[in-house]
């Protein structure tokens, strides 16, 4: 039993959202690089903001892809995005200062191959498939890279596989206590995969409005940032993590309130403890 997926028309054109998302997240990722010039990774939260910008773009892409009637395919779109993205992000992270550029190019290649396979081998024949999966892979890669950067303060691979723990007063470097070695990357993967698909999955229907869907995408991004900020207390200096936590909480409260206001605007009625009102046409 599939539910017909309908999307609202109008709003900001998709290409505009894409350019804002791509350029914004790219700049935010490079801002985290300034951490190397600071005493502590105070700018780590920009990684999270890069993820938020990418998620807003990704939600709009999923809306375009899924308007071809992929009802139950909405969550799978999120999974394939992050699945292709995590590969690109981890490989890209090994290239030092070039990380964001290499990650984006590699993700585009992986996404295009996935799209071509889906259209020509699996024969799904959806016109927007190749371009959408390319975009989604880039979004997934930026999300993983951004949130991982937020957790450990750097987008370089060495920082992601080196953690420290204190044993008998000595600080020892280990792989086991790092973002990748500790498995935190798995948490980041799931946070991104659910956040990217939730906005459209939650708002689909004939009354879908772009501003409400994208606001929800930003809300999901900030919510993911809150949890990553809490995890980052295990990796980076307390004040840097605290700053990241405050930025995430403020962003989340703002977007959540805005989302509730937009839902109130779009809802048929906003009732508290009232019975069912049968529609005028009758059931």
Partner 1 sequence: MEEIIFGIGITALAGALAAVAGAAEDTESDIGSQGDPNSQVQLAPQMGYVHRIFNKAIAGEPPAYGLWVALGAGLAWAFMAMQINPILAIVLGSALAVFVQGVYATTAYLGRTASLSKFEQPVYIDILKSMTTVTMAHAFVAIFATVTVCHLMNGALGHPFPLPLLGLVWGIALGAAGSATGNPFYGKERQYQNQAFGAGVPIAASGNIVRYAEAGQRNSIDNGFFSAKLGGPASGICFGLIVFFELWRTVVFEPVAAGWGAIIVGVVVILIFAIIDRYIEVWARKTFGPYTTPEEASS
The footprint of partner 1 (CB under 8 A) covers 1-3, 72, 75, 78-79, 163, 165, 176-177, 181-184, 186-187, 189-191, 193-194, 197-199, 201-208, 212-213, 216, 219-220, 223, 227, 230-231, 233-234, 256, 259-260, 262-264, 266-283
Spatial separation of the C-alpha atoms in residues 10 and 235, rounded to whole Å = 44
- Show the beta-strand stretches assigned E in 168-263: 170-174
C-beta of 25: minimal distance to partner 1 in Å?
22
List 171's β-bridge partners, or say none. 166
Q: Which is nearer to partner 1, 60 or 130 (CB)?
A: 60
Nearer to partner 1, 104 or 223 (CB): 223
Q: Where are the alpha helices (DSSP H) in 34-98?
A: 45-66, 73-92
Smallest distance, partner 1 to C-beta of residue 101, A: 29
In the complex with partner 1, the residue whose CB is nearer, 37 or 278, is 278
We find the least distance from the C-beta atom of residue 182 to partner 1, in angstroms, to be: 5
Tokens of 199: 């906005």
Distance of closest approach, residue 177 Cβ to partner 1, in angstroms: 6
CB 88 within 8 A of CB 142: no
Give the span between the Cα atoms of 102 and 168, in whole angstroms: 41
Closest by Cα among 110, 108, 111 to 133: 111
Q: How far is the CB of 48 from partner 1 (least distance, A)?
A: 15
Distance of alpha carbon 257 from alpha carbon 252, whole angstroms: 8
Q: Which is nearer to partner 1, 77 or 104 (CB)?
A: 77
Q: How far apart are CA 283 and CA 219, in angstroms?
A: 36
Residue 159 half-sphere exposure, CB side, CA atoms within 13 Å? Answer: 23
Q: How far is the CB of 23 from partner 1 (least distance, A)?
A: 27
Nearer to partner 1, 19 or 260 (CB): 260
Choice between 4 and 123, CB closer to partner 1: 4
């Amino acid at each position: 039993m599939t539910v017909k997926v309908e999307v609202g028309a109008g709003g900001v054109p998709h290409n505009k959202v894409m350019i804002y998302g791509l350029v914004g997240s790219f700049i935010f990722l490079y801002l985290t690089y300034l951490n190397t010039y600071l005493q502590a990774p105070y700018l780590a939260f920009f990684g999270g903001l890069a993820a938020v910008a990418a998620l807003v773009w990704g939600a709009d892409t999923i809306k375009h892809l899924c308007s071809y009637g992929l009802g139950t395919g909405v969550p799978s779109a999120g999974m394939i995005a992050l699945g292709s993205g995590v590969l690109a992000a981890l490989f890209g992270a090994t290239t030092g200062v070039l990380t964001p550029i290499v990650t984006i190019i590699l993700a585009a290649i992986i996404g295009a191959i996935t799209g071509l396979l889906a259209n020509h081998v699996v024969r799904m024949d959806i016109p927007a498939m190749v371009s959408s999966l390319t975009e989604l892979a880039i979004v997934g890669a930026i999300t993983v890279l951004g949130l991982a950067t937020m957790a450990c303060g750097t987008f370089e691979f060495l920082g992601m596989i080196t953690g420290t723990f204190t044993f008998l007063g000595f600080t020892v470097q280990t792989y086991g206590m790092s973002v990748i070695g500790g498995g935190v990357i798995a948490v980041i993967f799931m946070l991104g995969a659910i956040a990217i698909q939730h906005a459209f999955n939650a708002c689909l229907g004939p009354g879908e409005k772009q501003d409400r869907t994208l606001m929800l995408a930003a809300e999901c991004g900030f919510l993911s940032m809150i949890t990553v900020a809490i995890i980052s207390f295990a990796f980076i200096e307390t004040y840097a993590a605290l700053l990241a936590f405050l930025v995430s909480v403020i962003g989340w409260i703002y977007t959540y309130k805005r989302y509730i206001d937009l839902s109130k605007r779009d809802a048929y009625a906003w009732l508290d403890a009232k019975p069912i009102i049968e529609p005028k046409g009758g059931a």
